[in-house]
Structure 1
């Protein structure tokens, strides 16, 4: 069978701000057969998205295709004119982005945007295009397929919008669809339904696909073959089954081992060590005007009661919007609780951080999800780490300088980074600086709010290992907020499950991993496994999905 895609010796070059040229893709070969789905796997900067975009003859600003050939259905995308490429994009090759919200115009109805490509390329009469869109909505398991297109993008859920973006890509009957991390931003319960819908439509229509991701478990469910990339070079290529069960390259094996973080081997004796460090009693917090009962209009967290023991870690999990991050912000005093009581090491905490003593602020630190927005881009790493040392401990001069070196060493960063700004660091390095800044205060407890969600699997696993090491050395406690169950299980002694602002269950993994609440059961059953047959064999209670799923 003739290949649909043939890439030979692909090179992509980037030009830096100083005018220096760097090869970011270094001679990549790739074949894709008609109807085959090939996954591009690797950490950030490995070249996954860059290669995928070249299939449309496109590169990001500052980059260019500097060598090789890219043939799609017999046409070389490198030698075609921009006008010829434009005729192919959206018609023969379609693209589904990571953020569906960014792909839709908020001022236009969904149906008008989904059928737009059929008007541009004059593929179908308007009435036919509309009927085809509705049939795709049905095939992608969207609710109310006849009416959903009449809504605007903000009127549907994230999972629905991601499937609508797929409908927009599929309506032209393309030969190839590029999926660029399309489920990364989705909750696990939603992700499963979206993956199922993608897989079903692609296989039924015999459409080839390129699936870009750093999540091997997701890739295992949808891809026929996997191409492993690192620093713009192919490390290994093989069938999904072969890569998962018989990987040859050390980097592939590193990716596989990083996917399942090692469970804690330093569990403390509960009976001997159980002393409350942080106690949260009946905490309610939210947004909007205060009502007659003294509570906010939107109650994102309702009557939550949680205890964190000294030297132990608590995980808080749940889907987007369940109140996890609001709870963290309330504990930190960034969003003052409307009611309830907070006690840290036997002393009551004021609801607002502004009302807390400097010592209380020092003892409870928070590390945010996005290091990019929580580090001052205008300051050097030295300034960022020096500020809490001066604020909390009054350190100056050589004493402060020595401590900065110690903090960098603690989080395994070279001292040479002192003079750099956040923009000059990788995502993993920035998150380590975030931790060093929290450690500068010498806290008793650190709130970690989705700190690994923006990181690659390998980098995230390294950060988790770092946290365990710091806990052993410094007798810290963590509250770990995440929707990634494997990460939470790797570091937490207790797991609290939240749903719609309420704590529905607390689980002790060391004693039992079997959740009792129906929502917890749905959540735990939705975490993909490194098994290509997992999705096809997954059976979930339809009543549970109906009651608690929001795909």
Structure 2
């Protein structure tokens, strides 16, 4: 075997908590990366994958430090270098593509100035040469208007374009190693495919090595030569990508793969459902944003939406960013009052605005938001967060309220002592369970779930879906599930609405979405979901006319 480009030996990284306690985060990890090889670090949140990836640049998060072991990158021993020496190799020997491209760009500077900045810092080439090279990279990354896109500002390009531009920024200094930190997590499925294709093509042409951090095995299968599976700061298993997918040796790897197995939803039957009105009915609903003039808002988003959700059934609403699916959830909940149309819950018409709805109307339909971090008040204990709806809807106080908080925590499979903690002391999955428990405190019949698993890793997301199903059986709930993840929708929904530009373009049973979709946009969405197969992306053929018409680039 040739000399490795990267050699990590017995790496230990520790941190000191706010209370002064020492915690070991990475516990003696060793691995090599060959020149031109792409290695994926996979594992759930907290497994240490990003911590290890950042350490290859000699970087640790605030409060963390490298406490032992050695990292070699080419001729450099990163662990023995001063901070100044490490700064010299960042951008030239090793570079980084972040999860959020938006956070990597300064909104007040033109894109070209930011992409080529590293060439001036390290005096790599004259400005003319740097701009020419940037345009070549833009072309290689399949960016539209390669000659002129650099003159725009970050807000003037789409999310998928910005993610490829952040890759151009990382690649312009010809690094030997590129670190990709979950770079497609926030992207829609069709955009993700284009970005992955572009990354892979540029890496192959340049013969660069890469570290790809992800919790998504299907994405990793398209780009990585080898996979390292991490849990709790330790390597559980490593091997060639195909070998890990076909014959995983470690039980934890098998658990990760099992979370990807498609699980089809089994409909519930409520005996009395036939004699009752739909739990949710939406008639001719139109909604938008901005000041109302002549009875219509400045920006019209939803156009004449109609559907009914029967009691005990679940409806998925899918579509890419900007399709109007989250706006639909907000309009049904009354957060964004529709300017036309009706929302009926359990046969009763709801007031358009949340502020006008009665306590009983509010109680029947609850909404759980995508980002538990922003949905939970960081200054309040879990007990206070769950106690507020108990007092508001049911007048509960004192011991009765405390007992019910403990019951709610048990419902979402969390221990009672968690009630004394603040949201910041919980994991992402725990926070989302608290979000759900708060909705359950109202004792609703319908829960609107807005992308509630999109920020969670695969194993945690699968556990949340199982919990929702269990609660549905126990509490006779119905769900409206907003998502851009088709496998999640298949796992929990009976029927699916496909939305595009504020309109429902197709409705069909969730179990038949992959086979029976007839609208070209639905077919494009279905065909863009990565499979656990290393040859899937290479063999994927999509109609260029469809991509041109519907691709969210």
Whether the TM-score (by the shorter chain) exceeds 0.5 is yes
Indicate the residue corresponding to 1:284 in structure 2: 286
Give CA-to-partner distance per residue, 1:451-470, whole Å, 9 cap, x none. 00111110000000000000
In 2, Cα distance between equivalents of 1:116 and 1:378: 40
Indicate the residue corresponding to 1:488 in structure 2: 489
SS at match of 1:412: coil
TM-score normalised over the length of structure 2? 0.97
Query: Does 2:435 align with 1:434?
Result: yes
In 2, Cα distance between equivalents of 1:414 and 1:518: 47
In 2, Cα distance between equivalents of 1:324 and 1:509: 16
Report how far residue 291 of structure 1 moved.
2.5
Q: Is the 8 A contact 1:267 1:493 kept in 2?
A: no
Query: Does 2:363 align with 1:362?
Result: yes
Q: Is the 8 A contact 1:220 1:531 kept in 2?
A: yes
Report how far residue 270 of structure 1 moved.
11
SS at match of 2:259: helix
Give CA-to-partner distance per residue, 1:202-241, whole Å, 9 cap, x none. 0111000000011111001000000011111101101100
TM-score normalised over the length of structure 1? 0.98
Moved more, 336-345 or 381-390: 381-390
In 2, Cα distance between equivalents of 1:265 and 1:325: 25
In 2, Cα distance between equivalents of 1:458 and 1:251: 10
SS at match of 2:552: coil
In 1, Cα distance between equivalents of 2:379 and 2:175: 46
Indicate the residue corresponding to 2:389 in structure 1: 388
For 1:52-91, list aligned pairs within 5 A.
Answer: 52-91=53-92
In 1, Cα distance between equivalents of 2:308 and 2:428: 32
In 2, Cα distance between equivalents of 1:512 and 1:140: 31
Indicate the residue corresponding to 1:541 in structure 2: 543
Q: Is the 8 A contact 2:221 2:533 kept in 1?
A: yes
Report how far residue 511 of structure 1 moved.
5.1
Indicate the residue corresponding to 1:150 in structure 2: 151
The verdict on how the C-alpha distance between 1:113 and 1:512 changes in structure 2, with shifts beyond 3 A counting, is closer
SS at match of 1:276: coil
- Structure 1 unaligned residues grouped into runs of 5+: none
SS at match of 2:510: coil
For 1:480-519, list aligned pairs within 5 A.
Answer: 480-510=481-511, 513=514, 514-519=516-521
Report how far residue 381 of structure 1 moved.
1.4
Give CA-to-partner distance per residue, 1:79-129, whole Å, 9 cap, x none. 011111111000110110111111111111111111111111111121111
Query: Does 2:174 align with 1:177?
Result: no
In 2, Cα distance between equivalents of 1:268 and 1:529: 32
Query: Does 2:534 align with 1:532?
Result: yes
In 2, Cα distance between equivalents of 1:474 and 1:15: 43
Report how far residue 144 of structure 1 moved.
1.0
Indicate the residue corresponding to 2:132 in structure 1: 131
Report how far residue 377 of structure 1 moved.
1.6
- Structure 2 unaligned residues grouped into runs of 5+: none
SS at match of 1:298: strand
SS at match of 2:31: strand
Q: Is the 8 A contact 1:36 1:208 kept in 2?
A: yes
Report how far residue 399 of structure 1 moved.
2.2
In 2, Cα distance between equivalents of 1:507 and 1:379: 42
Q: Is the 8 A contact 1:4 1:34 kept in 2?
A: yes
Query: Does 2:264 align with 1:263?
Result: yes
SS at match of 2:546: helix
Q: Is the 8 A contact 2:490 2:511 kept in 1?
A: no
Give CA-to-partner distance per residue, 1:406-465, whole Å, 9 cap, x none. 111111111111211111111111111111111111101000001001111100000000
Q: Is the 8 A contact 1:261 1:461 kept in 2?
A: no
SS at match of 1:144: coil
In 1, Cα distance between equivalents of 2:196 and 2:272: 44
For 1:24-35, list aligned pairs within 5 A.
Answer: 24-35=25-36
In 2, Cα distance between equivalents of 1:147 and 1:545: 22
Moved more, 426-435 or 397-406: 397-406
SS at match of 1:212: strand
In 1, Cα distance between equivalents of 2:169 and 2:374: 32
In 2, Cα distance between equivalents of 1:120 and 1:104: 17
Report how far residue 275 of structure 1 moved.
4.6
For 1:5-16, list aligned pairs within 5 A.
Answer: 5-16=6-17
Moved more, 260-269 or 380-389: 260-269
Indicate the residue corresponding to 2:242 in structure 1: 241
